Amino acid sequence: MLKKITDVARVIRSKNCSPFELTLDIIFEKTSIYEKVKQGNLINAKVIAKAYGIDEAMINGIVYFDPAHAVKINLPRPVPSGAPGDTDVYGAQQHAPLLKLKLQV
């Protein structure tokens, strides 16, 4: 069934993991949904690249983390934290494009 990610994920967030890199977390509500997402590799570089309108090669990594039934995605910051032209020093508001995702779970 095609479901909105906001109906199956409990947490969707972004944050700096260094002044030069962003990390996005999607924590699923239920282990069963997480397993489906993981088995089907439903959160992959192609999906993220499309959501953000960026090149797949820009994505630094996607990690599935079983203990928290979560997926982590790492992106480079377009501008380092706090440097002129930066828009989000903490990187805490870069998650919104993920909220539009739909998953076949």
Selected from 47, 70, 103, 105, the binder of other proteins by CB under 8 A is 70
* Shortest Å distance, C-beta 100 to other proteins: 9
By beta-carbon proximity to other proteins, the closer residue of 23 and 105 is 23
Sequence-separated (6 or more) residues with CB below 8 Å from residue 87: 79
Question: How far apart are the C-alpha atoms of 45 and 67, rounded to whole Å?
Answer: 22
Question: How far apart are the C-alpha atoms of 43 and 74, rounded to whole Å?
Answer: 12
Instruction: Return residues touching other proteins (CB under 8 A).
Output: 11, 15-21, 23, 25, 27, 51-54, 60-61, 63, 65, 67-68, 70, 72, 74-85, 87-90, 93-94, 96-97
